[in-house]
Amino acid sequence: MAISAILAALPSRRTLVTVVFSGLVGGAVAIGVAEWHARPAGPPAPPHDPRFEKLGHEYLPGLGKAYAAAWEEGARSLDAGQPLSASLAAVSKAWEANRISLFDKSVAPELARIVPESQKDADVTPAQRAAMAAAWRGLALGLDR
C-alpha cells in the first residue's frame, strides 16, 4: 500500500522526463553563460602611455580655446565687411595657426623625448616606434575622455 501511494503521488512519466530534461538544459545554459562572461571581451587593447593620456586630457581645453579664437577671428572679418567665403578662410587660417602653436608648445616637446624631431625616419628604432604608438594611443584616449 505504501508503494502504491508513493507511485500515485509521482507525476506522469512524461512530466517527469520534461522536468528532468528542462533542468539539464537550464544547467547547461547557465554554465555556458558563465563561461562566456568569464572570457575577455576581445583581444587585449594595445598598450598606451598613461602620461600622454593625461597630456591629451589637459590639451583638449586648449584646443577648444584655439577653435573659439578662430571663430572670433572670422566674426571680426565679417564685422569688417568681408564676404562669408573670406571670413571662413580667416577661421580656417586662424584655427590652423592656433592649433599648431598649441601643439608645438604642449605636445611636440613630449613626443620629441621619444623621437627627436631631428631624427630621420630611417633611424627610428622599433622600440621608438612602439613607444610613439603608445604615446599616440594615450593622447587619443586623453582627448576622447
What's the pLDDT tens digit per position in 47-88?
999 999 999 999 999 999 999 999 999 999 999 999 999 999
Cβ contacts of 124 within 8 Å, gap of 6 or more: 115, 132
Cell numbers 512530466: residue: 15
Cβ contacts of 41 within 8 Å, gap of 6 or more: none
The pLDDT confidence band at residue 44, using thresholds 50, 70 and 90, is confident
The pLDDT confidence band at residue 1, using thresholds 50, 70 and 90, is low
Q: Quote the mean pLDDT of the chain.
A: 88
Task: State what percent of residues in the chain have pLDDT above 70.
Answer: 90
| Predicted pLDDT at 89 | 95
Question: How many other C-beta atoms are found inside a 10 Å radius of the C-beta of residue 75?
Answer: 13
Q: Which amino acid is at 47?
A: P
Output the pTM of the full model: 0.66
Q: What is the phi/psi pair of residue 116, to 5°?
A: -60, 145
Cell numbers 564685422: residue: 79
Domain ranges of the chain: 2-38, 50-144
**Residue of higher predicted confidence among 64 and 38:** 64
Task: State what percent of residues in the chain have pLDDT above 90.
Answer: 66
| Predicted pLDDT at 33 | 72
pLDDT in tens, 79-118: 999 999 999 999 999 999 999 999 999 999 999 999 999 9
**Residue of higher predicted confidence among 45 and 1:** 45
